[in-house]
Amino acid sequence: MSEAAHRPLFHLRRAFAGSRVGRGPKHANQSFELTWVQQGHIQFDLGRSTLDAAAGTCVVLTDDGENTPVVRAAVLHQLWLPGTWLEEAAGALGPRASVPRFSAVHPADSRLTAHIRLVMEEIESGVPASDPGLGALMDSLLYGLVRGSAPERQHRQRDARIQRALERIAGEYADALRVEDLAEAAGMCRYSFLRAFRASVGESPYQYLQGFRLERAAERIRLRRDASVLETALACGFGDPGRFARAFRARFGCAPREYRARHSG
């Protein structure tokens, strides 16, 4: 694609601290909005449907329709791409390519998410839009978007039953929640709830609860320096400190004390 290194890029890093849920404002996209969730969780209310994105995943919102973001304790990186750029990329590839029609969440281990993250990291590190290397990365990203990629969860109807279970997790994550407790909140039998939860959220109730607890623990470690790691583990629903430390390292790449030291500035 021509003039790839001369496209103006609009990239923004947003950080939301605390346990309060932030909502809005409702807005319409004039371009494609790419959101990489570095930490935390974000939900996009699309009116008749919703998209839920956990840490590591990437959301691609199309330029068609309105959305309302709902976020809690998250670090987000966002990049906006005009639809004309994607149309140009699709035209260059021919009939096998097309501009995405539906908003979607792409998993953390997908090739497209890795590519989006790389572009955002390059921009944040100070590489100018005129850099030929960044221009080549952008071309590759645009081609990847129009070729298509298997999304984790596509545009779908909101399931109010699963939403009730998610709200119970948000309010009682420190307690000994069982699948049966969440199924009861959803008003479903255990088997139906497990299937519906995975279809709606993209992971099992246990995986989601574990991730939610770890995100709250990381937040407490960053913001409450007077609390010990053990106190933090217990306050976030982990009864076994050793298990907490292993799960924390697997999610954040370091031990809780090292994580605190990295965020002490």
Residues 112-153 have pLDDT tens digits of 888 888 888 888 888 887 888 888 888 889 998 998 644 444
pLDDT reading at 96 higher than 50: yes
pLDDT reading at 187 higher than 90: yes
Q: What is the CA radius of gyration of the chain?
A: 20
Quote the tokens at residue 17.
């601290």
C-alpha to C-alpha distance for 8 and 22, rounded to whole angstroms: 30
pLDDT reading at 255 higher than 60: yes
Roughly how many angstroms between the first and final C-alpha of the chain, as a whole number?
A: 42
Q: What's the confidence (pLDDT) of residue 29?
A: 78
pLDDT (average), residues 231-246: 92
**pLDDT band with cut points at 50, 70 and 90 for residue 190:** very high
Where exactly does CATH 1.10.10.60 map onto the chain? 160-262
Q: What's the confidence (pLDDT) of residue 17?
A: 61
C-alpha to C-alpha distance for 132 and 151, rounded to whole angstroms: 29
Quote the tokens at residue 158.
């909101």
**CB under 8 Å to 14, separation ≥6 — which residues?**
74, 75, 76, 77, 78
Contact in structure between 53 and 41 (CB atoms under 8 Å): yes
Cα 148 from chain centre = 19
Cα 249 from chain centre = 19
pLDDT (average), residues 26-43: 85
Quote the tokens at residue 79.
């990049």
pTM: 0.56
**CB under 8 Å to 160, separation ≥6 — which residues?**
none
C-alpha to C-alpha distance for 79 and 60, rounded to whole angstroms: 10
Q: What's the confidence (pLDDT) of residue 22?
A: 64
pLDDT (average), residues 154-158: 46
**Residue at token pair 């994607």:** 86
**Residue at token pair 């792409």:** 106
Where exactly does CATH 2.60.120.810 map onto the chain? 4-154
The pLDDT mean for the chain works out to 82
Contact in structure between 164 and 185 (CB atoms under 8 Å): yes
Q: What's the confidence (pLDDT) of residue 154?
A: 45
pLDDT (average), residues 38-46: 83
Q: What's the confidence (pLDDT) of residue 7?
A: 57
Residues 43-83 have pLDDT tens digits of 888 876 778 888 888 999 988 778 888 887 778 888 888 88
Peptide bond into 25 cis (omega under 30): yes
pLDDT reading at 157 higher than 70: no
The three-class DSSP label of residue 200 is: helix
Angle made by CA atoms 69, 222, 127, in degrees to the nearest 5: 65
Please give the class, per CATH, of domain 4-154.
mainly beta
Hey, which CATH number is domain 160-262, 1.10.10.60, 3.30.70.260, 1.10.3210.10, 3.40.50.300? 1.10.10.60
